[in-house]
Amino acid sequence: MVEIKSLLKVKSAIRASYSINKIATVLHTGDEDNGSILLKIRRKDSKSCLLGKSLSVDGKYSWSYMSGNMEEWFEENVINEKIDRELKTDPDLWVLELESETIWNPLELV
C-alpha cells in the first residue's frame, strides 16, 4: 500500500478545516515525505488536547489521545510542553493546530 506524503496530509487537513469554517494552523513544519503528525485541538477557552498516531497491539497505526483520556482537555501550556518534548525527540514532526470546540480529526481517514 502506498503511503500518502505528510505534506499532502497536512494540506488536506487544512483544506478540510477551512471547508467547514474551522481554523487550522501549522505550528511546526516537519519532514515533507515521512514526518509524523500531531494534532493540537484548541477550544476558544484555550483548553487543548493532543492527538497522534501510534502503533496498536494489532500492528496497525491508529489515532490516539496523547494528552490523556478521551474528551479530556488541558490548559494550553500543558499541551505545549508535551509538544516541545515530542519535538526534541522527533524534529521531523509536523504539529497542526485546529480550533474547534469538539474533538475533530480531519486526518482520521487518511
pLDDT digits (tens, 9 = 90+) for 15-30: 999 999 999 999 999 9
User: What is the distance between the alpha carbons of residues 1 and 22, in angstroms, rounded to a whole number?
Assistant: 31
User: What is the distance between the alpha carbons of residues 101 and 33, in angstroms, rounded to a whole number?
Assistant: 30
Instruction: Express each pLDDT in 40-80 by its tens digit.
Output: 999 999 999 999 988 888 888 888 888 777 778 999 999 99
Q: What is the mean pLDDT of residues 69-98?
A: 94
Give the chain's domains with CATH numbers: 6-99 (3.40.1530.20)
Contacts for 55-64: CB closer than 8 Å, 24+ residues apart: 63/105, 63/107, 63/108
Sort residue 24 into left (φ over 0), alpha (ψ -120 to 50) or beta.
Answer: beta
pLDDT confidence bin for 88, thresholds 50/70/90: very high
pLDDT confidence bin for 1, thresholds 50/70/90: low
Q: What integer pLDDT is reported at residue 73 of this predicted model?
A: 93
